[in-house]
Amino acid sequence: MRKLFKGVAIAFGVLALAIAALVGVAWWKTENLLSRHYAVNDAPLAIDRSAATLERGQHLYTVLGCVECHGANGMGKLAIDAGPVGKIYAPNLSPAVLGPHYTADHLAAAIRHAVRPDGTPLRIMPSEDFANLSDADTAALVAYLQSLPASTPPQGETYLTAFGRVLVLFGQLRLTQAADIDHRPRVRQAPPEAATADYGAYLAQACTGCHGSNFGGQHVPGTPPEFPDSANLTPHADGLAAWTLVDFERALRTGRRPDGRELDGFMPWRAYGQMSDTEVAALWAHLSTLPPVPSAKAKK
């Protein structure tokens, strides 16, 4: 019996050491990711603070989904409670908080490159969705952010649990996007604003973080396992094949599918529903031209 107890004790000891080593490696991995530096050399923004520009910036803040994470007036809030993985707090964006640290071009780098003023990466910032945001739209968004009133920062700090860090180690949780973004300086322009597939493709960049690069739906990176996969937005039988522009617009405006069912609460339809009729028609025109692919759920 003593040998049995000794064997069990040794087994538990080995297991505890293995877990400690795994957590240690995961901790090193995440800290290494967060300590990297990225050079951003985009040309300085030409900031126009006219009423029309600020109105455009406010519109972009809403329809690009910024409001969903950072809240009204950029005050910041708890964006994702991932339970055993950790919590994601979107920071306060008002100039009273960021002003001493972020210039206009620093804000642009944060939006399009997921990079802080010191060159280190931001955590869980979906900048791949905005990496090709035009210079004019980026400038309008930055001008709006710099016009926000002072507000109280959210009561909390983003953190990952040991389990969350292990998920990062095994590639199951994407902590930063800066490593995968093209940081080369370039001029970024938007197509003419019209109900065209080209302009829709420009707008649809903001959808790829949740719906995937092929718009076929996926398990949204960074969400807990129990979260549902995002919807298939391609003209496939699993997706929007049976939908019309009217159905699509109704879903964005009211949060309901053609059959009356509600969209999943994680879908920020209230923000996207603020798109203009032209933007909705352009987005639909782009989605209608996509190759039909099976949904992520159908592939399982």
The CATH number covering residue 115 comes to 1.10.760
Total-model pTM: 0.90
Quick check: is 17 in a domain? no
For the chain (300 residues), the mean pLDDT of every run of 10, in chain order, is 61 75 89 95 95 97 94 91 88 92 97 97 94 98 96 87 90 89 96 98 94 91 76 94 96 94 89 96 97 75
Residue after which a domain boundary falls, among 153, 180, 207: 180
- Distance set, CA 173 to CA 33, 70, 222, 223, 225 (Å): 12, 21, 5, 8, 11
Q: Both tokens of residue 249?
A: 């617009």
Query: Could you give the CA distance from residue 51 to residue 38 in angstroms, rounded to a whole number?
Result: 34
**Residue-level pLDDT at 156:** 86
Query: Could you give the CA distance from residue 88 to residue 111 in angstroms, rounded to a whole number?
Result: 17
- Distance set, CA 123 to CA 65, 67, 134, 174 (Å): 17, 17, 23, 9
**Residue-level pLDDT at 280:** 97
**Residue-level pLDDT at 148:** 96
> 175 and 65: one domain?
yes
**Residue-level pLDDT at 8:** 59
Cβ(88)–Cβ(222) below 8 Å: yes
Split into its structural domains, the chain has a count of 2
Residue closest to 266 by CA, chosen among 200, 220, 298, 201: 220
**Residue-level pLDDT at 107:** 97
Degrees, nearest 5: CA angle 180-158-100 = 85
pLDDT tens digit sequence for 236-247: 999 999 999 999
> 59 and 124: one domain?
yes
> 171 and 203: one domain?
no
> 155 and 211: one domain?
no
The separation between CA 157 and the C-alpha centre of its own chain, rounded to angstroms, equals 18
Place of tokens 């990062």: 168
> 62 and 176: one domain?
yes
Q: Which domain holds residue 125?
A: 51-180
> 155 and 259: one domain?
no
